[in-house]
Structure 1
Amino acid sequence: MATRRAPARTSRGSARTVIAQLDWRRPQPAPIVLVSGPEDVCAERAISAVRDYLRAEDPSLEVSDIRADDYESGTLLGLTSPSLFGEPRLVRVGGVEKASDAFLTEALSYLEHPQDGATVVLRHTGATVRGKKLLDAVRAGAGGGVEVPCAAIKRDGDRHDFAAGEFAAAKKKIEPAALRALVSAFTGELNELAAACQQLIADAPGSITAQTVERYYGGRVETSAFTVADTAIAGRYGDALIALRHALASGADPVPLVAAVAMKLRTMARVAGKRGSSAAIAADTGMKDWQVDRARRDLNGWNESSLGRAIQAAARADADVKGASRDAVFALERMITVIATRRPFGG
């Protein structure tokens, strides 16, 4: 069966072909599939989706993996050439950003005459400019390919969208508060957040609530940090001190604790005083609608003076826990006191 080709498009005012750019959650096969960008989690999902698509069309799909940086001449053509029974072929090529001269030469030649029934996936992380001529050729339409960009996911809003997409793809309901708590709990590598999402999808019955997330991941430092921040900003002084002591007893590092508080205060400051719809404010500030809504709720009971004091307290605590003070615990408690009581320390 011939591999399906996604449509290419032509730049306005130019004869230069620009290949289709596909969402990594919904890629489609083509003779050449360029999976580009540094986010390995998204790239792995895209490559798996291409394989599953082809296998659903024909279970006899032959799958081969090769490395562009450890390449033996003739391998690409040998793996893509039709077999006796004409099974479709999928060749996944890793390490294109470190490709050998031999691979680049043969890959450029292959683009001129791609094999019928074969899909070649090129994985390039963008870590180097190695292979630029090959990438430019693919993007210009050689070989009839498509590109699946996998940009880095680092911003809080992007991580929130990623996690929401995981549950939407699995048709699993998760409450907004639960989603926020989950994203807050995994602020490190994206693969950890992805694994947590998949665990909840597989194991948690019914709709996922904030209590579900707390039951699974309540022991994580990041979750404790945001619990401290939420209770302090809400003005629940006693609960905030208890949460702080629990976090420290669980091994939380004071630095990310302060960072969690400071991040929420900065978000509140960006929204404070702004009028208009959440969507309009989000567009103006570069935030997400849900972040604006949350900041507006957090601002209840705050004014310009109390918010300014809180931000100053967080800045002082940040310096203290990074070495300006010998007593990091006292620095944290002083910050929490200023924030939760919304008064100067000792006032």
Structure 2
Amino acid sequence: MASRTQPPARQQAPAAVTLVVGEEEFLVDRAVRERIAAARAAAGDDGGDLHDVEASTLTPGELATLTSPSLFGGGAIVIVRDAQHAGKEIAADLARYATSPPPDATLVITHAGGAKGKALVGDLTKAGASVTECPKLTRPSERAEFVRNEFRRAGRQADEGAMRALLDAVGTDLRELASAVGQLASDTEGKITAGVVARYYRGRAEATGFSVADHAVEGRLNEALEQLRWALATGTAPVLINSALAQGLRLLGRVGAAGRGA
């Protein structure tokens, strides 16, 4: 008897209403992206229509329209940003929605925190919204903990010296720190130490279109890709990299075409 293939199980649906509170832009953006991805994964398709709006531009009753099911089936994902700027009627709409959200819709609300619009945060929390805190990271210890958590997310081990070296090399911008951790995790092997970070960032200073081309024509793919990432990150124009690669390939062609005694 032929076996029947079962459809893949849907992942657990995310909270119907999520409130992301804080001023750390990178963490807020990441939280929003993760909620969108979770909603789509739970739906087993594209998750329905995606609407990304500013709270200050919403009109009374518009939220109900945005969260309504699509004409082609499927639910809706609605992002309402900067809810601290919502007028009284819109704030009331958001709080009322959170008390009884409709099925097949995901609402994510961002709020900077602080005194402005504070009542809305309380109303949404009381209504059962899932709350994600994204406070500004201002202390060195907080940024070090962020880097530590980024290495954990990447599934890599790094010692304290590596974290201090990375903070010294990159600075305090969380988006750049997260990108640097991702590149180190991708381009290195074994435990990441201060020495590994130092070697890697020395390569950043040396990255040019010609260094990319040199590594590529020598067949050193990993090094070429590493240099390419740094060259782009430091502002090298892609056209210059292409030109260097073309020059390297032309040189290989000339050498290959030359006679053995040449």
Higher-RCO chain (CA-CA 8 Å, sequence separation at least 6):
2
Cα RMSD after superposing both structures: 2.8
Q: Which of 161, 177, 192 lines up with 1:208 in the alignment?
A: 192
Alpha-carbon distance between aligned partners in 2 of 1:189 and 1:219, rounded to the nearest angstrom: 21
Alpha-carbon distance between aligned partners in 2 of 1:35 and 1:87, rounded to the nearest angstrom: 24
Contact 1:34 1:122 in 2 (8 A): yes
Contact 2:157 2:191 in 1 (8 A): yes
Contact 1:32 1:121 in 2 (8 A): yes
Write the letter of the residue equivalent to 1:150: C
C-alpha deviations, 1:265-304, integer Å up to 9, x for none?
xxxxxxxxxxxxxxxxxxxxxxxxxxxxxxxxxxxxxxxx
Q: Does 1:95 align with 2:74?
A: no
Q: State the match for 1:45 in structure 2.
A: 30
Unaligned runs of 5+ in 2: 1-9, 205-262
Q: Which of 15, 40, 58 lines up with 1:30 in the alignment?
A: 15
* C-alpha deviation, 1:117, in angstroms: 1.6
Contact 1:3 1:117 in 2 (8 A): no
Alpha-carbon distance between aligned partners in 2 of 1:60 and 1:219, rounded to the nearest angstrom: 40
Q: Does 1:129 align with 2:115?
A: yes
Contact 1:172 1:201 in 2 (8 A): yes
Aligned residue for 2:52, secondary structure, equals: strand
Contact 1:96 1:122 in 2 (8 A): yes
Q: 1:89/1:50 Cα in 2 relative to 1: closer, same or farther (>3 Å)?
A: same
Q: Identity across aligned pairs (percent)?
A: 35
C-alpha deviations, 1:74-111, integer Å up to 9, x for none?
33111111234541322111111222344223223323
Alpha-carbon distance between aligned partners in 2 of 1:91 and 1:44, rounded to the nearest angstrom: 14
Q: Does 1:55 align with 2:40?
A: yes
User: Where do 1:77-156 residues align within 5 Å?
Assistant: 77-84=64-71, 86-126=73-113, 128-140=114-126, 142=127, 144-156=128-140
Q: State the match for 1:72 in structure 2.
A: 59
Alpha-carbon distance between aligned partners in 2 of 1:118 and 1:155, rounded to the nearest angstrom: 38
Alpha-carbon distance between aligned partners in 2 of 1:72 and 1:4, rounded to the nearest angstrom: 32
Contact 1:37 1:149 in 2 (8 A): yes
Write the letter of the residue equivalent to 2:19: L
Q: Does 1:178 align with 2:162?
A: yes
* C-alpha deviation, 1:218, in angstroms: 4.7
Alpha-carbon distance between aligned partners in 2 of 1:188 and 1:167, rounded to the nearest angstrom: 16
Alpha-carbon distance between aligned partners in 2 of 1:41 and 1:198, rounded to the nearest angstrom: 15
* C-alpha deviation, 1:205, in angstroms: 4.4
Contact 2:21 2:133 in 1 (8 A): yes
Alpha-carbon distance between aligned partners in 2 of 1:193 and 1:38, rounded to the nearest angstrom: 17
Aligned residue for 1:121, secondary structure, equals: strand
* C-alpha deviation, 1:219, in angstroms: 9.2
Contact 2:16 2:105 in 1 (8 A): yes
Alpha-carbon distance between aligned partners in 1 of 2:197 and 2:85, rounded to the nearest angstrom: 40
Q: Between Structure 1 and Structure 2, how many residues are aligned? A: 194
User: Where do 1:260-271 residues align within 5 Å?
Assistant: none
Write the letter of the residue equivalent to 1:119: T
Write the letter of the residue equivalent to 2:103: D
* C-alpha deviation, 1:48, in angstroms: 1.4
Aligned residue for 2:167, secondary structure, equals: helix
Q: 1:200/1:107 Cα in 2 relative to 1: closer, same or farther (>3 Å)?
A: same
Unaligned runs of 5+ in 1: 6-28, 221-347
Could you state the TM-score of these two structures normalised by the residue count of structure 2?
Answer: 0.65
C-alpha deviations, 1:213-255, integer Å up to 9, x for none?
11333599xxxxxxxxxxxxxxxxxxxxxxxxxxxxxxxxxxx
Alpha-carbon distance between aligned partners in 2 of 1:211 and 1:3, rounded to the nearest angstrom: 41
Alpha-carbon distance between aligned partners in 2 of 1:207 and 1:3, rounded to the nearest angstrom: 33
Aligned residue for 1:69, secondary structure, equals: helix
